[in-house]
Amino acid sequence: MTFRLALFLAAIVSVASTVPSLAAGNRYALVVGNAKYPDADAPLKEPVNDAHDVADELKRDGFQVDIGVNLTGDAMRRAFGRLYAKIKPGDVVLLFFSGYGIQSNRQTFMIPVNAQIWQESDVRRDGINLETVLGDINNRGAGVKIALLDASRRNPYERRFRSFSAGLAPVLAPNGTLVMYSAALSSVISDSSSDHSLFVQELLKEIRVPNLMAEETLNRTRAGVTRASREQQVPWISSSLAEDFSFVPGSGTAGSRTQLVNVPPPPPTKLDTLTPPPPAAPAPTENKSAAPAQVALADDPTIKSLTAKIAANPDDINALYRRGQVYASKGAYNLAIKDFDDTLRLNPKDVEALNNRCWTRTVVGDLKPALEDCNEALRLRPNFVDALDSRGLLNLKAGVNKNAIADFDAALRINPRLTSSLYGRGLARQRSGSISQGNLDIANAKAMDPNIVAEFESYGVH
């Protein structure tokens, strides 16, 4: 449920109005590579080389780049101050950080090389809070905000902590933000013997492809890392972008929007048939008779911009797909399905569109075609966590609780902190009679996201 999760997070944060042409502003980047931490047994091998490579690539892509290596806390704060001073409304701002990252109190902190960390409270004192940085960038008017963190390493301070601190935490970011971690939430990877990280190698490969939208660039990066690591490393992405942005704009039409992933599948969970669903509350549907709502949609600046692109080129696959996402986020599900239909007419193997249409059809209760979409997405991209999550929701609505649990289990093996799968599995377990297990899943999901109950209720699932 790619767009659902990202846009739901965006909806619960106070957001600024979307700037109609985000890519028109200046491009600024701050690139930090921290390797020499006194508390570590040895300097990290990758961050400095990766920082230089990323900085060089961003310069070629039109970014004004400030690069820093082995920065202390004061040096990092000065670097952010220089970045903030440049930002004007509508600018594109990118942050790349490689080094140690730590989560504390469900927030992610980037760690300077001179941090003095003996207990978890020291993380909040000496670390740099990612959410605070993104908020400060947004407050200065930046349109597109991108944060790339290669910091999911086992930190050298963890034995001093009594509470859990592995990996990075979800980020609640302002609208117009794209965040990517090099590994799944709360997961860690080892520093390799290579001088460059797998994450950065794949990132640079995809950034150099012209005409890809930023979300697609990062999705392809995630696919490449997952495949190359044999699923031992699965990057995490969160997006609330609503405007087009490409690292390397090109001339002509973008190619295939999706790179298919050929990775070993999980234990079989594919469904071929559905048993009749039990009576359920009506799913949310679009109210076609509500003229004011239709007018509001037509006046939405993002929808207007995308509609103009589609009018100029009815086969603009990127604009069709993006407008479908926006319609779905606003509850205009039938309009969203139509745009996903047109996207798939142009590229029947677009797994992101298949997944999104599966989820949208599930929300409106059109379960049989939704199942076909999810099954096809998973045939094309085995272990596609978003499609597993979507199909789990579908099975939950259909009352096929055993299969819902299997799908949510498969999704949680890939991303153990995927809140929607955790909550959905809890409901399915309760309905299957495993009350204590279900209650535990639901409690854990609500602890991670207090809005998850309302979210599922909006899909007609109680």
One domain, residues 176 and 306: no
Q: How confident is the model at residue 183 (pLDDT cuts 50, 70, 90)?
A: very high
One domain, residues 313 and 432: yes
Share of the chain above pLDDT 90, in %: 50
**Average pLDDT in the chain:** 81
One domain, residues 192 and 60: yes
Task: Give the pLDDT of residue 216.
Answer: 92
The CA-CA-CA angle for residues 179, 143, 302, to 5°, reads 100
Residue 177 has pLDDT above 70, yes or no: yes
One domain, residues 335 and 453: yes
Number of domains in the chain: 2
For range 340-353, the mean pLDDT: 92
**Domain extent for 223:** 2-239
Residue 16 has pLDDT above 80, yes or no: no
Within-domain flag for 253 = no
CATH number (domain holding residue 57):
3.40.50.1460
What is the H or E stretch that residue 28 is in?
strand 27-33
One domain, residues 320 and 231: no
One domain, residues 235 and 305: no
More confident residue, 307 or 162: 307
One domain, residues 308 and 210: no
Tokens in use for 234? 């699965």
Within-domain flag for 281 = no
One domain, residues 233 and 300: no
CATH number (domain holding residue 379):
1.25.40.10
Within-domain flag for 251 = no
Task: Give the pLDDT of residue 340.
Answer: 94
More confident residue, 139 or 252: 139
One domain, residues 181 and 305: no
Total number of residues shown for the chain: 462
At 283-314, the pLDDT tens digits run 444 443 344 455 567 777 778 878 888 999 99
Within-domain flag for 272 = no
One domain, residues 11 and 87: yes
More confident residue, 120 or 405: 405
Q: How confident is the model at residue 11 (pLDDT cuts 50, 70, 90)?
A: very low
Residue 162 has pLDDT above 50, yes or no: no
For range 346-363, the mean pLDDT: 92
One domain, residues 163 and 298: no
Specify the pairing of strand 27-33 against strand 64-69.
parallel
For range 341-354, the mean pLDDT: 92
Share of the chain above pLDDT 70, in %: 81
Q: How confident is the model at residue 91 (pLDDT cuts 50, 70, 90)?
A: very high
What distance in Å separates the CA atoms of residue 387 and residue 1, rounded to the nearest whole number?
7
One domain, residues 218 and 339: no
Within-domain flag for 124 = yes
Within-domain flag for 263 = no
Task: Give the pLDDT of residue 392.
Answer: 95
Within-domain flag for 154 = yes
What distance in Å separates the CA atoms of residue 376 and residue 380, rounded to the nearest whole number?
6
Q: Which of 239, 274, 306 is the last residue of a domain?
A: 239
Within-domain flag for 268 = no
E strand map for 55-193: 64-69, 92-98, 101-104, 107-110, 128-129, 144-150, 177-181
